[in-house]
Structure 1
Amino acid sequence: MANVAMTSDLEEVLRPFHQRAAEAEERLAKLELLSESKKGYSIEEALQLKDLQTKLDSAEAEKIDALKEVRKLQAENAKLQYRILHLIRAVQDADKVKVSCHENST
């Protein structure tokens, strides 16, 4: 019960900070557009550039995540191949023991 009250109080305390941060992000976006328009781009072109940059950043982050996943799967694959190798050897050894026991009993 105290946790819920604490969380609520914390959210109430942080609300003005979140609001100020959102306002600052809006101002920054406007400044970026203004900066792009001073480089010779129209506002529409600047918006398109910003959108493309956002998509590029998102794709880059996805690429990094995918590469991490590939590395993780490669490591897991190597471990499984190692286990398979040892299981095959264990089966071969068991077969040899079985054959030798069968030969000794006849």
Structure 2
Amino acid sequence: MSVDEYEDHAESSGAVARGLRALSGAVAAGVVVLAVVVLGTSYLGGQRGFPGPGKVSVGAHIVAVVLVLLAQRVADHRRGVAGIFGSVGVFLVTGLLLWTQWWR
């Protein structure tokens, strides 16, 4: 591999990692917004006497927010495989949250 080919490969893999990190950041922000909506719905349901999300759902969203933010921090502050694993962690936690609390 020539120097030019190596630099092109490094630039393209860096661009992929940045894109993955940006996408996982947007997903993490979405999980935070979703948790705020669930918390607000739970609060309003209690105040107005209609059923809202239960304690398990609220707790799951809070735990998911903490895990997603920690994983995104790893993705943002580490390079290489550790950063990619941080982004993948965001996707996995989000998928698990959506599967258990919204789609089942």
- Using structure 2 for the length normalisation, give the TM-score: 0.42
The structure with the larger Rg is 1
Q: Which structure shows the bigger proportion of residues in helix conformation?
A: 1
Greater relative CO, 1 or 2 (CA 8 Å, sep 6+): 2
